[in-house]
Structure 1
Amino acid sequence: MFPDRGVQPARVPRLPDVDALRGFALLGICLVNAPVIAGAWSLVEGAGAAPWDRTAAWLVTALVTTKFYLLFAFLFGHGFVFQEAAARRDGVPFARRHARRLLGLFLLGLAHALLLYVGDILMTYAVLGLVLFAVRKADPRALLGMAVALVVLLTAVFVVIGLVASGTEGAGQVSAHALKEMQARQSAWFRGGAGGVVHANIAAYRQAFAGALLYGPHLLAAMLTGLAAARLGWLDPARSTPPSAAGRRLLRLGLLIGLPGGVLTAMCSYGPLDARYYYLGQAVDILTAPALSAAYATVLLSLLHGRFGPRIAGALAPAGRMSLSNYLFQSAALAFVFTGYGLARYGTLGPAALACGCVVLWAAQLAVSARWMPHVRYGPVENVLRRVTGGRRRHRSADVLAASSKARPR
């Protein structure tokens, strides 16, 4: 039923905690991406929106939006160190391997954006990966300083935009007639055939590109923090584990800063504050979301090192090991349900029902990944990216018995 894992050459070991964090973050990514692919946000506009849908949109904005893409970006930066170590292990130039990997990510992201989801993040990762390479030898404290500076500067930019918008009557507001026309046009495109979906994604890409430029520094700050964390061994299993005193302080700080910030951001997006305050809400989100992301990670790490840690890791880590495949599959599954690729239910399901569906989809991914990963080294898309990167080939002369013993489900 499953492919044979085959022979396992010596390699840089994986960190189960990191894989579990990736598996957990997949839920947040799905909750944020799904409403865009499904056209669900159109159902919370205007006075006729169902209260449960407005509540769901408000909660997702307060607790999920931004927080989980920062967590994934942190883990991307963290993994950079291990990619470099793997290149040294294989005796190949890291610059060449890294460039090929980033090219593969960019091409995957381009296909993802055109065919499935215009809000793709992989192309942004590929571009920012060049920056990581440029600063890879910087001192960890310098990396953390750059991350803080990026967050503060981006916050200041949004504060300026927000102050201008808040003093302008009608800023950020679209007439009901224009909004209805735009939503009808998008629905027609996304409910049409494959050509309509691609056309809609291309039409929306200018806005998506502007968003990537504007929010890119926020992602880069998280990546730099992840790179510094790997250099300092923050997630090294050999270190003292949460709940340490430092872990408890980080959790308190994250909740005290991150939760109020998320609430204020949601108030600026879905009320009671009106659209004039949207960009001020975004400034608050940029400044405080990293704190809530850190709090989420701290809670999960504490659970992983608690009584039920092995069970939690067993549920989350396999999905995290194939997080790229799962990320793309989420988009494919949602596109099949909501666009002309399949059932064409675009704009028919509100945020509340969609959030429940996201939990079901994520749970299914956890189950499938847990069944699949004990029998393979990589997820399907990860394997393709590895081939593009030029990863180390397996050698048949290695110890088959040792490899087969590792293939038992855990």
Structure 2
Amino acid sequence: MSYLQESRDAGREVFPDLARAFALFGICVVNVGIMSWPMMTGYGESAVHAAQDQAAFFAVGALFMAKSYTLFSFMFGVGFAYQMQSAERKGVGFSGRYWRRIIGLLIFGLINVAFLFQGDILVMYAILGSILFLFRNASPRLLSGWAIAIYSVQVAFVALMALGFWAWEAFDGENFTLKMGTMLEQADNAAEAFRNGSFADAIAQRFADWSGFITFGMLMQGIGALAFFLFGFSAVKRGTISNPAAPFWKRSRHVFLPIGLVLSGAGAWIMLQGHGGMNPTMMAGMTLIMLGSPFSTAGYLGLIAKWAETPSGTIKTFLARGGTSSLTAYLMQGLILSLIFNPYGLGLFEQLGAASAIALAAIVAIFTIAFASLWRTLFKRGPLEYVLRSWTYMGSR
């Protein structure tokens, strides 16, 4: 059975699958910055020195940073709603299946951290997905209200971080400099593990990076991810996901998208001036990007909705089919990039400028989406989706 026929029979829309494919591309070109360079600092000064590197860094910041994970998070909320609806249609319990799925994501996430990528989002999604469950009976209006409030907290936190960094540097410059020096030393230690260490050294360093990232990441991204879970859940309840022609999507691409891109572009330009670690300039740029993220994300969804309205074509079907196996594609990205940058692979850690690393990540992203799409022409589900589904529906009929 073809993907389109299968989608029609299941009552599934092409729109969410296209959005997942787009999110997978953006996530890969953003993540490569902390897979090819230390997580503590991202791209080093030499990686963003040439004009093409600066242009690539700016483009990723303006177009994808804090917008791809929000798209992915939005689709997590959509998937949550679909799982609830499926359980209701079949007259079966939802809770047991959902919690098994959450545990499955947690296990996949920990495997990802150990062997592939210390910036994993699956563990975070498992934790936040537990909170999402509490909203399962909320109305669309309540979901949207909570989402706006939660995302406002996210922006406020990042803004306070930027202000705090500025005040620290301005009024206690000596200690600030010492702390930044310590961070650079930690980055050097990480670089040594990923440049010259053994396979075991790389695993240990990933867990060290991740243990420092998970709490900070929850505050920097996790709050926003939960907000977009709720936005996605609300969109299904309102019927806007099943209606790509809904007025909201038109308003999103015509009004919200320009606002988001202006804010994100300004933020990316400011970040470019302060790249190379946590500092007031970087945090100020990130604040603007975070502020623009909901507008950009809604705008991108509006563009994707417009494309979903058009008659099915080869490219659209190919990409949407790849988006159905997002877990496989996401983990495959980590596998390929870890083999490229780690010493047990090609050993290119800290060897590429931003432009080269981002171009490489774009190729990897396209390859993984293509692999997932081609796999789906032969099998009903992606390989890791099959594993997760088997665990989720264990003992169910």
TM-score (ref. length: structure 2): 0.88
CA displacement at 1:281 relative to structure 2: 2.8
Q: 1:219-258 alignment to 2 at 5 Å?
A: 219-236=225-242, 239=243, 241-242=244-245, 246-258=248-260
User: Match for 1:287: what amino acid?
Assistant: L
Alignment equivalent of 1:270, drawn from 246, 269, 272: 272
Q: Secondary structure at the match of 2:313?
A: helix
Cross-structure match for 1:27: 25
Q: Secondary structure at the match of 1:38?
A: coil
Relative to structure 1, the CA distance from residue 116 to residue 174 in structure 2 (aligned partners, 3 Å threshold; closer, same or farther) is farther
Cross-structure match for 2:316: 313
Relative to structure 1, the CA distance from residue 43 to residue 226 in structure 2 (aligned partners, 3 Å threshold; closer, same or farther) is closer
Q: Secondary structure at the match of 1:66?
A: coil
User: Match for 1:198: what amino acid?
Assistant: I
Cross-structure match for 2:98: 98
Counterpart CA distance in 2 for 1:190 and 1:227 is 39
CA displacement at 1:233 relative to structure 2: 1.2
Cross-structure match for 1:280: 284
What per-residue deviation string (whole Å, max 9, x for no partner) do you get for residues 177-205 of structure 1? 76664444222201322101111112212
User: Match for 1:51: what amino acid?
Assistant: A
Cross-structure match for 1:379: 382
User: Match for 1:86: what amino acid?
Assistant: S
Relative to structure 1, the CA distance from residue 48 to residue 281 in structure 2 (aligned partners, 3 Å threshold; closer, same or farther) is closer
What per-residue deviation string (whole Å, max 9, x for no partner) do you get for residues 139-180 of structure 1? 100100001111112222232332232233359767897666
Counterpart CA distance in 2 for 1:198 and 1:311 is 41
Cross-structure match for 2:371: 368
Q: 1:40-79 alignment to 2 at 5 Å?
A: 43-45=43-45, 49-79=49-79
User: Match for 1:285: what amino acid?
Assistant: I
Relative to structure 1, the CA distance from residue 173 to residue 136 in structure 2 (aligned partners, 3 Å threshold; closer, same or farther) is farther
Cross-structure match for 2:134: 134
Counterpart CA distance in 2 for 1:321 and 1:39 is 30
Cross-structure match for 1:210: 215
> 293-302 or 141-150, which moves further after superposition?
293-302
* Structure with greater helix percent: 2
Alignment equivalent of 2:352, drawn from 349, 352, 375: 349
Cross-structure match for 1:408: none
Counterpart CA distance in 2 for 1:42 and 1:229 is 34
Q: Once the two structures are aligned, what percentage of the paired residues are identical?
A: 30
The answer to whether the 8 A contact 2:78-2:233 is kept is yes
The answer to whether the 8 A contact 1:84-1:94 is kept is yes
Counterpart CA distance in 1 for 2:88 and 2:247 is 36
Counterpart CA distance in 2 for 1:296 and 1:152 is 20
Cross-structure match for 1:289: 293
CA displacement at 1:231 relative to structure 2: 0.6
Relative to structure 1, the CA distance from residue 38 to residue 174 in structure 2 (aligned partners, 3 Å threshold; closer, same or farther) is farther
Cross-structure match for 1:149: 149
CA displacement at 1:263 relative to structure 2: 1.8
Counterpart CA distance in 2 for 1:155 and 1:374 is 42
What per-residue deviation string (whole Å, max 9, x for no partner) do you get for residues 340-391 of structure 1? 3322211111210122112222222233233220221110111111111125
Relative to structure 1, the CA distance from residue 354 to residue 277 in structure 2 (aligned partners, 3 Å threshold; closer, same or farther) is closer
Relative to structure 1, the CA distance from residue 164 to residue 361 in structure 2 (aligned partners, 3 Å threshold; closer, same or farther) is closer
CA displacement at 1:48 relative to structure 2: 8.0
The answer to whether the 8 A contact 1:319-1:369 is kept is yes
Q: Secondary structure at the match of 2:117?
A: coil
> 368-377 or 330-339, which moves further after superposition?
368-377
The answer to whether the 8 A contact 1:318-1:370 is kept is yes
Counterpart CA distance in 1 for 2:46 and 2:395 is 55
Cross-structure match for 1:405: none
The answer to whether the 8 A contact 2:143-2:230 is kept is yes
Counterpart CA distance in 2 for 1:47 and 1:199 is 25
CA displacement at 1:253 relative to structure 2: 2.2
Counterpart CA distance in 1 for 2:310 and 2:274 is 40
Residue-pair matches, total: 382
CA displacement at 1:91 relative to structure 2: 4.2
Counterpart CA distance in 2 for 1:386 and 1:134 is 22
Counterpart CA distance in 2 for 1:212 and 1:42 is 14
Counterpart CA distance in 1 for 2:58 and 2:70 is 19
User: Match for 2:12: what amino acid?
Assistant: R
Residue 187 (1) aligns with residue 191 (2):
yes
Cross-structure match for 1:403: none
User: Match for 1:15: what amino acid?
Assistant: E
Counterpart CA distance in 1 for 2:25 and 2:48 is 29
> 370-379 or 359-368, which moves further after superposition?
359-368
> 104-113 or 369-378, which moves further after superposition?
369-378
CA displacement at 1:392 relative to structure 2: 7.9
The answer to whether the 8 A contact 1:147-1:224 is kept is yes
Counterpart CA distance in 1 for 2:48 and 2:142 is 51
Q: Which entry has the higher C-alpha Rg, 1 or 2?
A: 1
TM-score (ref. length: structure 1): 0.85
Cross-structure match for 1:397: none
Counterpart CA distance in 2 for 1:54 and 1:353 is 11
Relative to structure 1, the CA distance from residue 133 to residue 386 in structure 2 (aligned partners, 3 Å threshold; closer, same or farther) is same
The answer to whether the 8 A contact 1:151-1:287 is kept is no
Relative to structure 1, the CA distance from residue 303 to residue 172 in structure 2 (aligned partners, 3 Å threshold; closer, same or farther) is farther
Counterpart CA distance in 2 for 1:42 and 1:137 is 41
User: Match for 1:111: what amino acid?
Assistant: I
> 189-198 or 172-181, which moves further after superposition?
172-181
